[in-house]
Amino acid sequence: MSFITITPTSIPFTKNSLYLNDKTDKDLLIMNGEYYASASSQLSDKYQPYNVFNGTTKKPWISARSKSFNYTRDPYDNKHRISKYVGGGDGDTHWHTKVGHINVEGEWLQITLPNPIILIQYSILTYSSPKYENGRNFPKVFFVLGSNDETTWHVVDQQSLQSMPEDVSSPVEFKVYSSNKFKTFRFIFHQLFSGSAVSISQINMFGSNRIVVNKEPFSTLGNTIISPSNLRNMSIPNTDYTPYNKYEDLYTTTSKTIETFDTTTGNINISQDLNTYGNIYNELTTNTKYVNEYTGNYRSDKNLSYKDGIEGDSRTLLIQQNNMFLLATITVAILTLGAIVLSK
């Protein structure tokens, strides 16, 4: 299944709203309509939210700093980079987004799409400028939320990076493990690796209008969130376990390989040895041969199949049971007759 490019859009934004009507492919018709970009704040009119969704590095989105956008403080603490003064130190603009019973704090950037879609993957490219740490003010703790009414928010993805990405000169990719469709996606930047403001050049997004399943050790599906204070100190290892997910791809009949086994272990080839001592492997993998039965039951023409062997053993057991019953009956009759003779 091919992914749908959500951003950058086929026609660049020139302002925060954009209307597209250039999609003719039936799978892309959902991308026709109005797009709207917005943010918690911006440094100036030059650094508008829509810049991020054009796929270029010419202009970034930069959140407000001290003495801009009515901010009296920088939104991120220069010492700890945690959003202690998110909203510029003013309680009226202290940015937080409520997810369930938890307030997620941080400057945010969002895009509203024409129709709901499943987010599968996204990438972030920070602004490369000496004034903004040459891109090294990459977000350390951040969230991607989804909503269909911009009131009730659900966690789509959450990241707590333990170290700076090795290459911040190229977009850093993140896979998403959610099967829910949303119309609005909000990126909340809770903590930075360095710097006192968020500066993003690109957020490229890819999705699908069909349910797909990605491999992931753990995922957040729905309205569950890990507390930001715990998430900052949390390391989630990347294993290759796949969680149970009832949402398989409902739109394809293509069979899936659940697991591929390596049949060679050390100097033993499992598949070869199984076929040497019995053709079990062929039966399991091709279902074209009998599993021969080696219990000592033979027919004149060939070895019994497993099925024939079981049936033969069952018949033999039944005959033996009948013989035992007959022998027991005769024995009882003899004992009874003997008892009568002795009594006389």
Report the residue count for the chain: 344
| Residue 316 belongs to a domain | no
| Residue 8 belongs to a domain | yes
Provide the mean pLDDT of the chain: 76
| Residue 266 belongs to a domain | no
Class of residue 149 by CB neighbours under 10 A (exposed 0-12, middle 13-18, buried 19+): exposed
**More confident: 60 or 131:** 60
Task: Find the domain containing 104 and state its range.
Answer: 4-231
Number of separate domains in the chain: 1
| Residue 340 belongs to a domain | no
Residue 257's pLDDT is: 44
Confidence at 161, pLDDT banded by 50, 70, 90: very high
Residue 318's pLDDT is: 72
pLDDT above 80: residue 106: yes
Residue 176's pLDDT is: 96
Residue 279 DSSP code: T
> Comparing 34-48, 105-119, 150-164, 265-279, which segment has the lowest mean pLDDT?
265-279
Question: Could you please report the per-residue DSSP string of 184-237?
Answer: EEEEEEEEESS-SS-EEEEEEEEEESS------SS---BS----HHHHTT----
Look up the CATH number of the domain holding residue 157.
2.60.120.260
| Residue 136 belongs to a domain | yes
| Residue 307 belongs to a domain | no
Residue 333's pLDDT is: 81
**More confident: 247 or 31:** 31
Write the secondary structure of 295-316 as one string of H (helix), E (strand) and C (coil): CCCECCCCECEHHHHHHHHHHH
Class of residue 213 by CB neighbours under 10 A (exposed 0-12, middle 13-18, buried 19+): middle
pLDDT above 50: residue 110: yes
Whether the model clears a pTM of 0.75, i.e. scores above it, the answer is no
Out of 74-83, 101-110, 214-223, 299-308, the most confident range is 101-110
Residue 76's pLDDT is: 84
pLDDT above 50: residue 248: no
Pairwise CA distance, residues 99 & 67, whole Å: 30
Mean of the pLDDT values across residues 40-63? 93
Contacts of 330 (CB under 8 A, 6+ apart): none
Pairwise CA distance, residues 211 & 249, whole Å: 5
